[in-house]
Amino acid sequence: CPQARQLGSSTSPLMAKARVSDTIKFQRNELIRFLTEHMTKFCQSKGCDKVIVATFGSIASGLDTPTSDIDLVLKVEGSIPAVWTLSKDEGSAIKPRCWNCGLMNHIARDCPDAKRGGRAGEQSMKAAETTAPEGQEGGQGVLEPGLQNATEPLLQEHCSADEQEEQLELKIEDKDADDESDDDECEIRVDKKKLLMDLGKSLRYNRNRRIDVWAIVQSRVPLVKITDERTRLCCDVSMENDLSLYKASLLRTYVNLDRRFPELLSLVKFWAKARGINDASQHTLNSFAYTLLIIQFLQTRDPPVLPPLQKEHLQYNGRTLVLPPPIARIGRLEVRYYGSDSETRDKAVELRGFGSSNKSTAADLLAQFIHFLANEYDFEFDCICVREGRRKPANKEQFKHKHVAYICIEDPFDPSDNVARSVTEASVRKIRLEFLRANHIMSTTGDFGRVCGFPSTSSRGAVQAQVSVATPPLVSGLVKPGNAPSNQMHAKTAQKASEPARSSKQSISVPQSSQSVPPQSQQQRHSSLQLQQHQQKQSAQQQRNQQQHLVQPQQFQHQHQQQQLQHQQ
């Protein structure tokens, strides 16, 4: 049909531009290598035994575009410097002390001199004295009956009286050290804010690469934002985000099953950014929420395109696949899905043909997805559950964050986490109207350029122009700070250039009389309102241009007459 041909021609250049070039991949790998080496050397110079830097997010999952930021997670293990530790109850940094040797630069479980059953040295004697109970000097006291009965025969058989007393003292020290070490390990934790602030200073004053650094430590997730001045690539560094690593691995498995999934996601993200409904800071849906929406949509097609990789029992090719055991536990959460370990990775490879019976292209799935958002998905009563592969009734009391759940999208590993918790009452109406508008244009014309809000009806050139604006330049030389915009600034510029001027009240308000009108009438009314606003904008722009052309010659003529008069004088 004409709509399908128009949709295919308008989306094909965008999918081509959304592919990441080899040059951008090389620049990303170079920046990641530099940051990894610098952060590892910095943390080790401060006393950390083990430093791990890993990528997560869209790049690690294979869902990245040329404008995607780099997401890095920093993990420090082993001995932790004193200035980077906090107690459980205090808000200021404290110095942890090892209960084995008494030193102040590590905790007991990482002590290199810990020798159970042997002499711990003079330092451990002092530590035992400070932890001895009242009425006991130098760690001497009465053993518990069980420990005393177990050690008396051994001491009487192999030791003299003096040696027996000495070994009893060491046993007491070891037992007290074990008790205090457990308490010490429970109370000590890493001060992420202090560590990231020091790391930001170190990166800001490095001499090997010119980068802009901002340490944002007051947010819910403290992080360091980095922009490379040469390539204009952006990077976010956070800490101890193990669950995000597994999320990226799960999404990578979905990407490997069917290439239509990342292609559809790139189209949806492009449309959502152009219409201003892909920014959690503006109380709309973030990219991860759209990713889960698309996965759940592809799981429920007939026939389905993607399988539920976290379902307990999965039917495929006449066989029943059983979910593997957990590969990790993060608190009370279990990480398990098909392809998570080496044993089930072969099963995930077999699932690559799961959606072969569905012959829809990415452009066809885009039209179906927008129809799904506008007509099938009920914001108020449905909850997106990728883990089970279905939409289930929304239970808004299950989420851990204190918020009103206007849209319910479960995290794939944590059912109590609502990915769409940033949405408000006003923004959910805006999102809903954008879904209805996109469905109306898609079903009538199939013009993806008009769906994104481009003024030109020939969307092929408009899409190419928009993509060229949103793609960051590949600068080979150094750029002075502040001259070149970052990736986020490119996205904001593209968003402002693509959005038609419209009243915010008109875009989100619904007339009281339209509540009883059928959904199709509401879609037509909203589309006509958008068209009128666009025509008004074009006519106003033409009037301003005409006035400008009339005024400028008069100004130039007046200036020329003044110059001639001065010359004659």
Pairing of strands 70-77, 234-239: parallel
Cβ-contact 95, 47 below 8 angstroms: no
- The answer, as to whether pTM is greater than 0.85, is no
CA pair distance 292, 419, nearest whole angstrom? 9
Q: Domain residues of the chain, as ranges?
A: 2-19+241-431, 108-187
Look-up of token digits 């979905």: 254
| Distance, CA of 433 to CA of 411 (rounded, Å) | 25
CA 291 to chain centre: 11
Quick one: pLDDT band at residue 355, thresholds 50, 70, 90?
confident
Q: Which helix (H) or strand (E) holds 214?
A: strand 211-216
For residue 543, what pLDDT band results from cuts at 50, 70 and 90? low
Q: Which two three-digit tokens encode residue 224?
A: 């360091």
Q: Hey, what are 563's tokens?
A: 């110059």
Whole-number pLDDT of residue 65: 86
CB-based contact 124:177 (threshold 8 Å): yes
pLDDT: is 97 or 400 the higher one? 400
* d(C-alpha 94, C-alpha 248), whole Å: 35
User: What is the separation, in whole angstroms, between the first and last Cα of the chain?
Assistant: 75
CATH architecture for segment(s) 2-19+241-431: Orthogonal Bundle (1.10)
What mean pLDDT value characterizes the chain? 71
Rounded Cα distance between 280 and 420, Å, is 8
Structure confidence by residue, pLDDT tens digits, 546-557 = 555 444 445 545
pLDDT digits (tens, 9 = 90+) for 522-539: 555 555 566 566 666 666
pLDDT in tens, 275-318: 999 988 889 999 999 999 999 999 999 899 999 999 888 888 77
Residue 93 pLDDT grade (very low, low, confident, very high; cuts 50, 70, 90): very low
